[in-house]
Amino acid sequence: MKVVVLTGAGISAESGVPTFRDADGLWEGHRVEDVATPEAYELSPTTVHRFYDARRAALLSVDPNPAHTALARLEQSLGDDLLVITQNIDDLHERAGSERVLHMHGELRSALCRACHGRHRWDHDLVDLPPCPGCGVTELRPDVVWFGEIPYEMDRIAVELARADLFVSIGTSGAVYPAAGFVRQAMRYGARTLELNLEPSEGTVWFHEARHGRAGDLVPEWVAELLAGVSR
Ligand SMILES: [Zn+2]
């Protein structure tokens, strides 16, 4: 059985990672258009670098929660038959032990070179404009997909959704495209679809089944059910 899981801000929020969908509509005190668009970067690269440098440093103060751990456990059983597609730019899935994770919106712990287009594992600040490890040019930017940019690996995602027997959406609002359209893509090719979210998402009607509550409760329960079924 092929399982594709899509995760969003809700799963990270339970680890204490602040998201821009918080109640005040700001992301750590910033308007999204001031820190998460190519235009903002052109206008004030220093502001944007400081913002992501702080987010990257803040990863050290959060830990994976039981939802991340349960998905890593599921990967141990399903292997290549599980793919986690995440909209999150933190590294909590990896730190819980997951290896098959596709970061469609990029990663905080990665830098993208605007000169050679290389992507480099990055755990330091970018604000002092360090040289690219690949080409030496000082054009490294945060390797995150900003509003107005195309998410990573959309072709591969389309193939994986078409192959999926089960599509599970965890902690996503169902408001941000293209990810919000994945459920319908998977369903068109015959996948069963399940939503696990704090509240009904905007796309909740598209799911065969929806369970509402904390990811830290719902995901371990669901993984236990699935593994019991697989071993039967
Ligand atoms: Zn480069």
* Buried residues in 164-193 as b, exposed as e (16+ CB within 10 A): bebbbbbbbbbebeebbebbebbbeeebbb
pLDDT at 19: 73
pLDDT at 229: 86
For 16, counting Cβ atoms within 10 Å of its Cβ (0-12 exposed, 13-18 middle, 19+ buried), the class is exposed
Q: What is the value of pTM for the model shown?
A: 0.95
pLDDT at 150: 96
The DSSP 8-state label assigned to residue 131 in this structure reads P
Partnered with residue 142 across adjacent β-strands are: 111
CA 121 to ligand 1 center in whole angstroms:
13
Q: Choose the catalytic residue: 68, 93, 105, 120.
A: 105
CA 113 to ligand 1 center in whole angstroms:
5
Best CA proximity match to 41, nearest among 133, 177, 149: 149
CA 126 to ligand 1 center in whole angstroms:
14
Cα gap 157→182, rounded to integer Å: 9
pLDDT at 91: 98
**Residue located via tokens 């910033």:** 30
Give pLDDT < 70 ranges for the chain.
Answer: 20-25, 230-232
30 is catalytic: no
CA 204 to ligand 1 center in whole angstroms:
42
CA 60 to ligand 1 center in whole angstroms:
27
